[in-house]
Amino acid sequence: MSGESYFLYHSIGQYPGKARDLAGAMAEFALSWGTADDGQWAYALGKRQAFIDRWRAIIKAPEGSTTTFESVTQAFHALLTALPAGHLKGRKVLVGADCFPSNHFLLQGLAESCGFTLKTVALRQGAAHVEDEDFLNDWTPDVGLALLTWVSSTTSHRINLPQMVAHGRRMGSLIGVDITQAAGLLPFDASAPEIDFAVSTSLKWMCGTPGAGVLYLSPRLIAHCQPELRGWFSQDNPFNWDITRFALAPDIRRFDNGTPGVMAALASLPALDWHAAQDQAHILAHNRKLTARLIDAADDLGLPLLTPRPEAKRGGSIMVRLPDTLPAPQVVATLRAQGITTDARSQTLRLSPGIMTSDAGTDRLIAALKALL
């Protein structure tokens, strides 16, 4: 079966019938947008709202707390620059060295203009992920905002989120979470523990398209934020044309601006509909069974495991280090030629089994790695 040896859910998720559903959504949009009537915007904005509602269900977020962005980086930028004037000035922003690099690039660029000091929690010598203990040690009362990486993209290390959030509350910091690498696979509740904001994309376990990012912001904080980028959709009534009476919407819509780009949300909606109809416990159990098999295989093959062994401390991926004598691009290319889909970061081979990955496909991967080694 096609997809039996697909291990790329940390990058692009797949499900049976995805191409068909995506093509259908695009054809339906083309028919609506290309019809000479006045129904286009009601259709397109309705699809965007349906996408937002699917995301709210995934993270158990209340109405009016979640909106669309093109990417995690864009959503994070919008949040940072909307904070009350002076909130970060003279304080620290805390992030781990194993965060998604794009977030770190953004923080480096904003530090001077926003007046904060960027504090990056370092990796221990020889370690592949930041230890929770080290992050907590660096999380002092002068931290104005901490961005937590729920699950690492290079090790699948999963932080102890309740412990982190409890500490952050004692420090009086704003607490944000990048949930990209596990949202839709591992259960997540934005209010348990209560976080201040979350950012994600739809690419991975939800099997969506590029450009379908989201920002969640706690309703208790929305009124305190003044987004820099604003437009007619930032208002409670977008059809207010009186240029002397602009007022930001009372909910997350204040983070919208000009005419919304609906294409990514519309294209991702069939995947989120599919995801919502699945038995989530079954999807997770399937992943756990195959990742346990991959851990055993790594031990048998003598490949150093970079992912924590305990289930509670990892996401849905298994990362192993390839020997320096076996260049990772060569391994990925050889596997690809055999119909086995993986990727690598430096010498780290990343393996993420999902709903289409099978027992037989996993055995094929293991046999191919054994032959290469």
pLDDT per residue over 102-153, tens digit each? 999 999 999 999 999 999 999 999 999 999 999 999 999 999 999 999 999 9
Give me the residue label for tokens 């399937």.
286
Q: 342-361: per-residue pLDDT in tens?
A: 999 999 999 999 999 999 99
Q: 302-341: per-residue pLDDT in tens?
A: 999 999 999 999 999 999 999 999 999 999 999 999 999 9
- pTM above 0.75? yes
Question: How many of the other CB atoms lie within 10 Å of CB of 270?
Answer: 23
* Structure tokens that stand for 223 in this block: 């009124």
**CA dist., res. 243 & res. 240, Å (int):** 8
* Structure tokens that stand for 159 in this block: 């932080």
In sequence order, what DSSP letters do the residues of 235-261 get, joined into one string? Answer: BSSTT---TT---B-SSGGGG--SSPP
Q: What is the pLDDT of residue 51?
A: 98
**CA dist., res. 328 & res. 230, Å (int):** 45
Q: 36-77: per-residue pLDDT in tens?
A: 999 999 999 999 999 999 999 999 999 999 999 999 999 999
Domains assigned to the chain: 38-276 (3.40.640.10), 279-372 (3.90.1150.10)
Pairing assessment for the beta strands 318-321 and 343-345 based on DSSP bridges? unpaired
